[in-house]
Chains A and B, each alone.
Chain A
Amino acid sequence: MIVEFGHFALVLAVVVALFQTAVPLWGTLSREPRLMETAKPAAILQLVLFLVAFLALTHAYVTSDFSVANVAANSHSTKPLIYRISGVWGNHEGSMLLWVLILATFGAAVAIFGNNLPLSLRANVLSVQASIALAFGIFMLATSNPFLRLDDVPIDGRGLNPILQDPALAFHPPFLYAGYVGFSIAFSFAIAALIDGRIDAAWARWVRPWTLAAWMCLTLGIAMGSWWAYYELGWGGWWFWDPVENASFMPWLAGTALLHSALVMEKRETLKVWTILLAILTFSLSLMGTFLVRSGVLTSVHAFAVDPERGVAILAIMTIFVGGGLTLFALRAGELRHGGLFAPVSREGALVLNNVLLTTATATVFVGTLYPLLLEGLTGAKISVGPPYFNLTFVPLMVPLLIALPFGPFMPWKRGDIVAVSQRLILAAVLALVAMVATMALAQRGPWLAPIMMAVGVYVMAGSVQELTYRAKIGSAGRDEILRRLRNLPRSIYGTTLAHFGVGMMVVGIVATSAYQTEKVLVLKPGDTAEVAGYTLTFKGVAPHKGPNYREQVGTIEVMRDATPITTLHPSKRIYDSPPQPTSEAGIHASWRGDLYTVLGDAQEEDGGYAFRFYFNPLVRLIWLGALVMFFAGGISLSDRRLRVGAPKRTSRADTPAGAVAAE
């Protein structure tokens, strides 16, 4: 009964989305405020209906209602509660439902918090937003309905792929989707502005908080996925340049560029056309990510929908929105007036450099991800593009970006002095040199570039903090003055500093792990010991164990360091009951120094030994910690009064002659 109720709610939601697409837009075209005002209640109703549908499906999963085809195919009664819930989005149909639910949530949030938006802009934004929900809603009802019943009800379900049964992965898709879908707001605002033919600094102020919120979610979502791959797949790596990873990384790169260009637009009313284009491109890359991952074009653990019909349908949706958006852009961009002037060496100039490098980097990832598909389509040759490609193309673009990064916040708007800024960054440069020498002394191996890149990471961290110390006059003013200044600095400054600091942390973690990882593969018999990166590991033996829905062989390894016991690790090999699939569970000892990572391999037939793979990944924690810092930095920035959702008013810009320039 509840399932039918959910199905009905889904159909109604699509009907509401149709209404919300057509009526408010008709209202703005005919300048009829009463029609425009329907957008808000429609957006809220649409959210409620999608939520009811989603909760109905969740109910079916929690109660293990195997008469529902989707539940029977993806759940199992012995699965722990959390994985029964996460199973809702652990399959194609359910994940599409989550996708539209998040889309509707963002739409309703604009409706509720956007009271100070001009009525016509709000109507247009919500109309565009609803058209996306409409397209995906019809797609779901036509090809991927999660509420279909089975005639023959099975006794039990077929289970969720065991490697997906994991706490980090349970929350990876919701955050990733919140990121992908959150960029739809920037897209809807861009299209609404193009329909209107008007765009000004206030537009950027409205768009930036939504983009920032989406960017935060995407950052966390990608980091969770990377962390999961690290400890679950048992390969000791944290990023594989897998096409599916790239699909989520491209919108992140473009979204990061968008955050920075919207800043220029908000403060200086320039880069308008570019920012609009970037908003369209960022969401287009999100749609492409959904298409690549969900269509089965790429092969991965994410490719649920191998049904070609679905792939074609998502491709059609993508073509309509990307093509439509870009066509509208081409028609209207010329009408948008260009903004203020600035010297190449200035804050604006630095942010343009940021944008050029980030979008070029996005393009290199794009080529590396799609070239194999293109080549196979044209010549039939099957190739794989792996890490060597990205090391040659993406990484070199990041180096100038990182070197320029601390300069940006120090640069004044309009015109800057590169020598004066360099002088302020001397301390950061000195710390970077110290880090380089320390790395060379400690490691004494590895590629020659690694100490330099470690220095770059430390320089970014120090340079970001230096901006704060400079603004607070730490070192030159008295204690009270410093405290007063620290209190009065806007939160967005803290956000910027912290986010850039997080980037530096990541760089240090990435370089240390990539260049100085220790890997050992060997066979141990019970009682044998091995030395890995200063740790002494003693293999004690292997014992069987039974979990709630799996059986496993658990190895016991005692870890000593300088003759003192540190910990006992238990890498294991599991076989799940349903589906009967083997997985490896790594035993990890994490510390600030780095992670000791142990994987149990196969038993050796002849002598009772076991194969083991040991890694030591120095400073690897900083990678995910850096991402977490970036996430919180975004939160701090979002809580800034000046940026708070709904705070800006168009009238306030009208006071200054520079503002309030209609684009006509």
Chain B
Amino acid sequence: MTRKQKRGVLIGAAVAILAVAAIMVALALRDTIVFFQTPSDVAEGKVRPGERFRLGGLVADGSVRRGQGTKVKFAVTDTLQSVSVSYEGILPDLFREGQGVVTEGRLDPSGQFVADTVLAKHDENYMPPEVAAALKEKGVKLGAGAEHPGGKSN
């Protein structure tokens, strides 16, 4: 092989790998990403039926109902609208009424959100920034801790 051919083979192989990777990235970004929605977004019909998405907001006060075994129901609210959520499993340590929460799953035909993941991380002042931003957008007044997710570190 000549110098040119050798280089050609290497560059060709590298470009082929990059092209395949780029196609996979494009496909994956189309199919696997999950959007974040608030209860108001759901009420406005922004979610397609059967679409997997993240629902975030506050756990409505007095809404947590434990069922058989580890089944649990609660409502997620942005204080304007709320969506009823059902979940089977163990809730995170920081899950509490009146606190920020992010859940992931799908709406069932009756409009109930069936979650397979519930996230409530960080310290007691913490509110997920998506939730804080979304609530702010809706003009909801927030408590002292919510604006400052890093709270205690500053």
Chain A residues in the interface with B (C-beta under 8 A): 73-74, 91-92, 158-159, 161, 234, 296, 299-301, 303-307, 341-344, 349, 352-353, 356-357, 360-361, 363-364, 367-368, 371-372, 381-386, 388-389, 392-393, 396-397, 521-523, 573, 579-584, 599, 601-602, 604-605, 611-613
Contact = CB atoms under 8 A, between A and B. Distances in A.
Given A301-B122, A382-B130, A383-B33, A344 B28 contact: no
A612 B6 CA distance: 60
B144 interface: no
A383 B31 CA distance: 12
A281 B30 CA distance: 28
B67 to A, nearest CB: 10
Nearest to A382: B36
Q: How large is the interface on B (under 10, 10 to 19, 20 to 34, 35 or more residues)?
A: 35 or more
A344 B9 contact: yes
Residue of A522, A583, A611 with most partner-chain B CB within 10 A: A611
Contact of A384 (B1, B21, B34): B34
B28 A303 contact: no
Given A341-B3, A613-B90, A303 B123 contact: no
Given A364-B21, A384-B36, A306 B148 contact: yes
A392 B33 CA distance: 12
A339 to B, nearest CB: 12
A384 B33 contact: yes
Interface in B1-56: 1, 3, 6, 9-10, 13-14, 17-18, 21, 24-25, 27-29, 31-36, 54
A17 B27 CA distance: 48
A299 B28 contact: no
Contacts of A344: 1, 6, 9-10, 13
Contact of A73 (B27, B130, B154): B154
Contacts of A393: 21, 24-25, 28
B121 to A, nearest CB: 7
Nearest to B27: A392
Given A306-B150, A522-B69, A581-B124, A356 B36 contact: no
Nearest to A384: B34
Given A382-B35, A393-B24, A305 B150 contact: yes
Contact of B121 (A301, A364, A573): A301
Contact of B28 (A73, A296, A372, A388): A388
A523 B91 CA distance: 13
Contacts of A357: 17
Contacts of B128: 299
12 contacts: A301-B121, A304-B150, A360-B18, A360-B21, A368-B28, A385-B29, A385-B32, A388-B32, A389-B33, A579-B123, A580-B124, A584-B93
A356 B14 CA distance: 6
B66 interface: yes
B25 A367 contact: yes
Contacts, number: 140
Contact of B149 (A306, A349, A584): A306
Contacts of A303: 149-150
B7 to A, nearest CB: 9
B152 interface: yes
A300 B126 CA distance: 11
Contacts of B123: 161, 579, 581
B150 A601 contact: no
B112 to A, nearest CB: 20
Interface in B67-100: 69-70, 88-91, 93-94
A159 B124 CA distance: 13
Interface of B: 1, 3, 6, 9-10, 13-14, 17-18, 21, 24-25, 27-29, 31-36, 54, 66, 69-70, 88-91, 93-94, 121-124, 128-130, 133-134, 148-150, 152-154
A352 B70 contact: no
B93 A582 contact: yes
A185 to B, nearest CB: 28
Closest 7 A-B residue pairs measured CB to CB?
A: A382-B36, A388-B32, A601-B90, A392-B28, A306-B150, A582-B93, A344-B9
A583 B93 CA distance: 6
Contacts of A367: 25, 29
A161 B153 CA distance: 9
Given A392-B24, A579-B124, A384 B153 contact: no
Contacts of B122: 301
Residue of A234, A301, A304, A389 with most partner-chain B CB within 10 A: A389
A521 B90 contact: yes
A299 B123 CA distance: 13
Given A161-B123, A301-B122, A584-B93, A389 B28 contact: yes
Contacts of B29: 367, 371, 385, 389
B91 A602 contact: yes
A382 B24 CA distance: 22
B36 A579 contact: no
A304 B35 CA distance: 26
B37 to A, nearest CB: 8
A92 B150 CA distance: 10
A602 B67 CA distance: 13
Nearest to A575: B93
Contacts of A364: 21, 24-25
B66 A73 contact: no
Nearest to A348: B10
A3 B34 CA distance: 48
